[in-house]
Chains A and B, each alone.
Chain A
Amino acid sequence: MNIPKELLYTRDHEWVQETGDRVRIGITDFAQDALGDIVFINLPEEGDGVRMGESFADVESVKAVSDIYSPVSGRVAAVNADLLDSPEQINADPYGAWMIEVADITDRGELLDAAAYEKLCGEEG
């Protein structure tokens, strides 16, 4: 299980990367493995608002749909549109396949460091 030290994590298996006053959000290796082969992703549009704890996207495997929850409130500043054409990147490279960048952050939830997240995965796995 790949859990990069430099990232932060949510209890719903999203990863968060701070880049200046923005954050990038994606899903973890643990999450992609649990979901199986991802065949499609619904993403928000630039400029949309996201709210902490609410779904901003969903990913489809062949027989399941899973919501992706935002750990912060703010505005979508960028969307990784490449994923729309090749969602399999999420399986192949979960930490490269970022989904959105959020700016104008007004609120953030509890985030775990790599060690705490690894422990969480151990409990769930």
Chain B
Amino acid sequence: MRDQKLQKLIFEKSREGRGCSLLPACDVPAALPDQALLRQAPPRLPQVAEIDISRHYTEMQKRTHGVNDGFYPLGSCTMKYNPKLGEEMAALPGFAGVHPLQPAGTAQGCLELLCRAEQVLAEITGMDAMTFQPAAGAHGEYLGLLLIKAYHQARGDRARNKIIVPDAAHGTNPATATMNGMQTVNIPSNEQGCVDLDKLRAAVGPDTAGLMLTNPNTLGLFDENIAEITRIVHEAGGLNYYDGANLNAIMGIARPGDMGFDVIHLNLHKSFATPHGGGGPGSGAVGCKALLAPFLPLDRPVQQGEAYGFEDPVQSIGRIKAFYGNFLVVVKALSYVLTLGAEGIREAACNAVLNANYLKNQINDLYEVAFDGICMHEFVLSLAELKKRTGVSAKDVAKALLDYDIHPPTMYFPLIVEEALMFEPTETEPREMLDYAAQVLREIHAQAFSDPAPLLNAPLTTPVARPDEVLAARSPRLTFEF
């Protein structure tokens, strides 16, 4: 239901003199830095009592949609259920209370956990080594290309500065190439939405550093030419990078390492069920074949006989953040993998693909599926025709879903599909939820023809109506004005 009154910011709830009683009096002689070093005025933080905080956050909680609230088929984001076991394990004082710079001998459990996670994730992906230093998928991509660049340079192969990226790729791929001072070569998809082999052959050469690929791709299609694709790149002297955002479809079924990929990032916050936290922290674990292992980041956890310790790879690229990564996220991911085990991992992928196909088949008579056929874990609808006939756009349908407590799918991606909506139901949705979503999508479709006007203003029941994004961008107000 719409807000009837102004939803106050915490600063607007602040009352002079309020606060929480948290810290003891000073038990040593009082001391303060020189006056010239001190700030002129205190920061205007809110002055509130504990009950004010409790209620404020409860209000905010009610105005936030989580996986626990309902269906969340956000394509390419793998919004599966996040088991609570992981949360409990990550909160154990034996993990949460360990200082990153305490002697390795006193952090054996943490190091063992990282080594164990490396072992199982390397097996799942067909890689030889892994690092958990990257904090997110994009951070992992950055590291992956650093490794590729370091590999070529170590061989004196300095002319390789081009990264080949299919046009359906995630925006991070080309952005990552730029961060590494490399040029992106975009290659168009073929009619099946997959890599056009002839175009790829024409694109590779002595300047090819590598290829970045998601498989299944962002259309939810597995590229059956994958072995040929990676071979073309290898023969040209380049390396193959696997964007692991879509691994959920194939884990336990096939392995990027067997497909000819040399380096890969995983989003532990996608395939391995760690929560997204409203946009992080994630973990962008990077795996690689042995030929890239000498370049991995510093402080690599390793087993040394009976004990565990750190090692600095000989030709390390250095580091991309302080310490060893989002450790507690790795705890959650390992607890997930150990629970599922070999069979459970495979079962998760199977059901992710099954659910996507089931949902697609419930609606593909009404909605146009971009590249129809058996899909992997996600599929893309094109609403171009619907928009032409009714004026109802992909965005309107997405917003209408909000009125049914369904989080919209990813909108307007991939860029190569007009009016795209990308659905990824994941394996943790029961059939009745898929049926409900299909029924809602059918109702919206019918309404688009019978009475489209309300759809153009949807959602009608959320706390706020569509926000004015143009106003926000033209006159940015990025902080509270006291």
Contact = CB atoms under 8 A, between A and B. Distances in A.
A39 B474 CA distance: 5
B470 A39 contact: yes
B474 A88 contact: yes
Contacts of B470: 37, 39, 62
B184 to A, nearest CB: 15
A87 to B, nearest CB: 7
Nearest to A86: B474
A119 B474 CA distance: 33
Chain B interface, DSSP helix/strand/loop, else mixed: helix
Interface string B458-482: 0000000000011001100000000
B371 interface: no
A63 B393 CA distance: 15
Nearest to B474: A39
Contacts of A40: 473-474
A63 B412 contact: yes
Interface residues of A, number: 8
B474 A87 contact: yes
A39 B471 CA distance: 8
Contacts of B412: 63
A62 B470 CA distance: 6
B477 to A, nearest CB: 14
Interface in B411-431: 412
Contacts of A87: 474
Interface of B: 412, 469-470, 473-474
Given A40-B473, A62-B469, A87-B474, 12 more contacts: A37-B470, A37-B474, A39-B470, A39-B473, A39-B474, A40-B474, A60-B473, A62-B470, A62-B473, A63-B412, A63-B469, A88-B474
15 contacts: A37-B470, A37-B474, A39-B470, A39-B473, A39-B474, A40-B473, A40-B474, A60-B473, A62-B469, A62-B470, A62-B473, A63-B412, A63-B469, A87-B474, A88-B474
